[in-house]
Amino acid sequence: MTMSTINKALSSEAEISRRNFLKLGAGVLGGLALLELVGVGLMFLEPRSLEGEFGGVVNAGPVDSFPNGSITEFPAGRFFLIRAEDGGFLAIYRRCTHLGCSVSWKPEQNQFVCPCHGSHFDFYGDVENPPAPRALDTFAIHIEDGMVKVDTSRPQTREEFESSQFVYA
Considering only residues 125 through 164, tell me which ones interact with ligand FES, judged by CB under 6 A.
131-132
d(CA 110, CA 125): 11
Q: Which stretch binds ligand FES (CB under 6 A): 28-36, 57-65, 86-94, 116-124?
A: 116-124
**Residue 80 to residues 40, 83, 113: CA-CA distances in angstroms?**
38, 10, 13
Residue placing its CB nearer to ligand FES in the complex, 91 or 136? 136
DSSP characters for 27-43?
A: HHHHHHHHHHHHHHHHH
Residue placing its CB nearer to ligand FES in the complex, 83 or 98? 98
Minimum Å gap between C-beta 77 and ligand FES is 20
Give the contacts of 95 (CB within 8 A, at least 6 positions apart): 78, 101, 102, 103, 136, 137, 155
38 binds ligand FES (CB under 6 A): no
Minimum Å gap between C-beta 114 and ligand FES is 3
94 binds ligand FES (CB under 6 A): no
- Identify the residue among 117, 142, 146, 156 touching ligand FES (CB under 6 A): 117
- State CA 38 to chain mean position distance: 25
- Identify the residue among 84, 113, 116, 140 touching ligand FES (CB under 6 A): 116
Q: Which stretch binds ligand FES (CB under 6 A): 42-50, 91-99, 141-149, 161-169?
A: 91-99
Residue placing its CB nearer to ligand FES in the complex, 92 or 132? 132
98 binds ligand FES (CB under 6 A): yes
d(CA 50, CA 63): 22
d(CA 137, CA 98): 11
d(CA 133, CA 57): 28
